[in-house]
């Protein structure tokens, strides 16, 4: 049992206002592995007040020193990689090999690249007789999800602290334990009291308070589109900045002439990473009708060969989904898909040899109508939908863009120029070109119902600043002012 009885507020671990706790389940067994406080509005109020009080102090720390703090957080995560990887494998179900590399490694990399971007950021911009400077946005409410607890935290806390903002973090109730370890790391770095605060709790209480509180200047959420709509509505009352990274139903568009070995490996990897619990997963595979039979054969073989089991076993390819609620949701969609398309792998029912935990068979449906429910709605589990087109790549592009979401995507064509020409026409925030891999320095975010704003790299860092124009009598008067940070 990992029992975390306190919240981190105003530079110290403090008792919460309530004795109520949130139990954390192990995805592979369904057994309780830890507890965290169920923070109350009074706790969120204390944290917000502390962050507001600390803001002027932290904002005045030179940006190079703030970047050093962000780098130190990354180092702290790497030092505790094994511990953190195991925690998130238990909480989320991520296979342990992926957990170490992605859940921890990517989070540390994001902190590092944000610090690098902060150090490289020009101190000001000069436009005619104006000097444009950047100032921290203020107090930030950071609401993080359960599927990538540390990575998504890094994408918010890293740029916020580097920019000079103070932060109140509200982690997901499903997977909060790793966030408490990060707070332990921050506690040892000597930040001003109140610069970083952690309040676990129910989204309907703590999350809503962060998004509506007049002393919070910006709220950043990663979560479902429904949660994003609610946060945006709450934030509108106090006209605060909002950054939303929301749902996805991303397309993997296969063109004639593509390298099928490489394309099918990328398609399966892009859908089933983290057991399908990835907002940017390419869960719609759109293929030419002429290649459909070959695609079905290749995908079915790859998926049926996946080793499903204990996520703490290094040989496991696919672990459980994170919670009983998610298990029910994914199972419902699989049952729905049985009447909408042709099942070519997986399907409903228990995983053979496993009698506990939240395990779902990796499942593939094919010969689906583009408007089918399993094609259009975000399932957030190990389910791939295959749709074919027979009227050329124009039809394939139209099917790819026929979605309320626009977070990610992939194109595989016979060569890079062809793939790029297709990728430019997709209405989505990032596109993997012929197997291109994720880049933590490039902007990440979406169109349409997939959100507002961008995370990662210098683009993500800029979200946490406000711009101020200093107007001088003439451009010559600007010469007296050197670069300042």
> pLDDT tens digits, residue range 324-360?
999 999 999 999 999 999 999 999 999 999 999 999 9
pLDDT of residue 484: 44
Coil, strand or helix at 248: coil
pLDDT of residue 175: 97
Helices (H), 121-146: none
Q: Which of 393, 431, 408 is nearest to 258 (CA)?
A: 393
In this predicted structure, the answer to whether residue 485 has a pLDDT above a threshold of 80 is: no
pLDDT of residue 482: 57
Q: Locate the domains of the chain by residue range.
A: 2-246+450-469, 251-433
Q: Which of 261, 257, 256, 252 is nearest to 284 (CA)?
A: 252
Cβ atoms of residues 218 and 242 within 8 Å: yes
Fold agreement between 2-246+450-469 and 251-433: no
> pLDDT tens digits, residue range 415-460?
999 999 999 999 999 999 999 999 999 999 999 999 999 999 999 9
The mean pLDDT of the chain is 96
245 is annotated as an active-site residue: yes
Query: Which position has the higher pLDDT, 475 or 149?
Result: 149
Say how far apart CA 283 and CA 272 lie, in whole Å.
Answer: 8
165 is annotated as an active-site residue: no
What tokens appear for 380 in the block?
Answer: 């957030």
Cβ atoms of residues 149 and 171 within 8 Å: yes
pLDDT above 90 coverage of the chain, percent: 95
Say how far apart CA 190 and CA 207 lie, in whole Å.
Answer: 27
> pLDDT tens digits, residue range 8-59?
999 999 999 999 999 999 999 999 999 999 999 999 999 999 999 999 999 9
pLDDT of residue 479: 76
19 Cβ contact list (under 8 Å, min separation 6): none
The superfamily in CATH containing domain 251-433 is Aldehyde Dehydrogenase; Chain A, domain 2 (3.40.309.10)
> pLDDT tens digits, residue range 151-193?
999 999 999 999 999 999 999 999 999 999 999 999 999 999 9
Rounded to the nearest 10 degrees, the angle between the axes of helix 105-120 and helix 63-79 is 170
**What radius of gyration do the chain's Cα atoms show?**
23
DSSP state at residue 135? E
For 5: left if phi > 0, alpha if psi spans -120 to 50, otherwise beta; the answer is: alpha
In this predicted structure, the answer to whether residue 480 has a pLDDT above a threshold of 80 is: no
In the set 26, 245, 378, 463, the catalytic residue is 245
State whether CATH 1.10.1200.10 applies to domain 2-246+450-469.
Answer: no
* pLDDT (mean) for 311-320: 96
Q: Give the H or E element holding residue 114.
A: helix 105-120
Cβ atoms of residues 161 and 70 within 8 Å: yes
Q: What is the pTM of this model?
A: 0.96
Residues in the chain: 485
φ/ψ of 285, rounded to 5, equals: -100, 115
Rounded to the nearest 10 degrees, the angle between the axes of helix 105-120 and helix 149-163 is 20
Report how far apart the first and last C-alpha atoms of the chain are (Å, whole number).
46
In the set 91, 116, 124, 279, the catalytic residue is 279
CB atoms within 10 A of CB 133: 16
Coil, strand or helix at 417: helix
pLDDT above 70 coverage of the chain, percent: 99
Say how far apart CA 214 and CA 87 lie, in whole Å.
Answer: 35
In this predicted structure, the answer to whether residue 204 has a pLDDT above a threshold of 90 is: no
């Amino acid at each position: 049992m990992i029992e975390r009885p306190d919240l981190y507020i105003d530079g110290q671990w403090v008792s919460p206002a309530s004795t109520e706790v949130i139990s954390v389940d192990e995805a592979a067994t369904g057994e309780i592995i830890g507890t965290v406080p169920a923070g109350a509005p009074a706790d969120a109020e204390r944290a917000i007040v502390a962050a507001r009080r600390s803001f002027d102090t932290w904002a005045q720390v030179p940006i190079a020193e703030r970047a050093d703090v962000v780098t130190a957080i990354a180092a702290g995560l790497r030092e505790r990689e094994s511990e953190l990887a195991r925690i998130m494998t238990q909480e989320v179900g991520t296979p342990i090999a992926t957990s170490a590399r992605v859940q921890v490694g990517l989070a540390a990399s994001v902190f590092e690249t944000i610090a690098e971007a902060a150090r490289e950021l020009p101190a000001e911009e000069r436009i005619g007789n104006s000097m444009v400077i950047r100032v921290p946005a203020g107090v930030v409410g950071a609401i993080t999800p359960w599927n990538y607890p540390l990575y998504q935290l890094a994408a918010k806390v890293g740029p916020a602290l580097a920019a000079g903002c103070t932060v109140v973090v509200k982690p997901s109730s499903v997977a909060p334990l790793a966030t408490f370890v990060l707070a332990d790391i921050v506690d040892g770095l000597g930040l001003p009291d109140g610069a970083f605060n952690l309040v676990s709790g129910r989204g309907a209480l703590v999350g809503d308070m962060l998004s509506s509180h007049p002393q919070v200047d910006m709220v950043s959420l990663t979560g479902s589109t429904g949660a994003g709509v609610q946060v945006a509505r709450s934030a509108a009352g106090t006209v605060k900045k909002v950054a939303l990274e929301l749902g996805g139903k991303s397309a993997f568009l296969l063109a004639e002439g593509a390298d099928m070995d490489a394309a099918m490996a990328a398609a399966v990897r892009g859908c089933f990473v983290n057991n399908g619990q990835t907002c940017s997963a390419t869960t719609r595979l759109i293929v030419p009708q002429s290649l459909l039979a070959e695609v079905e054969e290749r995908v079915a073989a790859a998926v049926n060969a996946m080793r499903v089991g204990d996520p703490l076993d290094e040989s496991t390819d696919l672990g459980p989904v994170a919670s009983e609620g998610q298990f029910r949701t994914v199972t419902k969609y699989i049952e729905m898909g049985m009447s909408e398309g042709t099942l070519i792998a997986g399907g409903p029912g228990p995983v053979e040899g496993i009698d506990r935990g939240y395990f779902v068979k990796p499942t593939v449906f094919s010969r689906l109508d583009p408007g089918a429910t399993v094609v259009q709605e975000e399932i957030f589990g190990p389910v791939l939908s295959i749709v074919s087109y027979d009227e050329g790549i124009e039809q394939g592009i139209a099917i790819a863009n026929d979605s309320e979401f626009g977070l990610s995507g992939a194109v595989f064509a016979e060569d890079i120029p062809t793939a790029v020409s297709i990728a430019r026409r997709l209405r989505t925030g990032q596109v993997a070109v012929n197997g291109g891999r994720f880049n933590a320095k490039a902007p990440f975010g979406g169109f349409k119902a997939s959100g507002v704003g961008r995370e990662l790299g210098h683009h993500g860092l800029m979200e946490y600043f406000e711009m101020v124009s200093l107007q001088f009598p003439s451009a010559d008067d600007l010469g007296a002012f050197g670069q300042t940070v």
